Amino acid sequence: MFADVRGFTHLSEHASPTQLRESLNVLFSAASELLVQNEALIDKFLGDAIMALFNAPIPQPKHRQVALKTAIALQEKMIELNLPFSIGIGLNSGAAVTGNVGGGEVTDYTAIGDTVNVASRLSGLAGKGEILAGISTCGGLPPSLPSGYGCERVDLQVKGKEHLVAAYRVYKS
């Protein structure tokens, strides 16, 4: 899962660095609480984005459902927080390698691979308050979406990919 602030560059032109930090800390605190409650591993904070893993390093049998439920809960929490920005979320499921990556004395536990890249790119394409979930995450899940939510299939051109990526746009109905 990647959750990324929309319009952060524009916002940073009009807000002080202290205001930005305070708002991001509110977002990251709320996101961290939801992610930990749902047994996700917070991989890292990337400026105005957060990367989290489900199903690693500890297997999670229903990780797809849990990731989607968590993404929806995070978007609902954003409404409640009433921050001066919104977020776009990208989810994807599939093969990835997890472990320490880095060099010399600096390494970080993370996940890498095409699955992770697509999740990041979906997050970048997700609009304000939107969730884009790769077909491998959401494909078999539409009947199990929480009440009041639906999804529509979209084929997206994702930066760096030769072919369109099949995904679902999750929306509040």
* pLDDT value for 166: 93
pLDDT at 3: 98
- How many separate domains does the chain show? 1
Token couple for 87: 């977020």
**What is the DSSP annotation of 7-30?**
THHHHHHHS-HHHHHHHHHHHHHH
**Residue range(s) defining the domain that contains residue 20:** 2-172
Tens-level pLDDT at each residue, the chain (173 residues)? 999 999 999 999 999 999 999 999 999 999 999 999 999 999 999 999 999 999 999 999 999 999 999 999 999 999 999 999 999 999 999 999 999 999 999 999 999 999 999 999 999 999 999 999 999 887 766 556 777 888 889 999 999 999 999 999 998 87
Dihedrals φ, ψ of 91, to 5°? Answer: -125, 145
Q: 91-120 burial by CB neighbour count: b if 16+ within 10 A, else e?
A: bbbeebebeeeeeeeeeeebbeeebbbbbb
pTM over 0.85: yes
pLDDT at 151: 83
Domain with 141 in it: what CATH number?
Answer: 3.30.70.1230
**Numbers of helices and strands, H then E, in the chain:** 5, 9
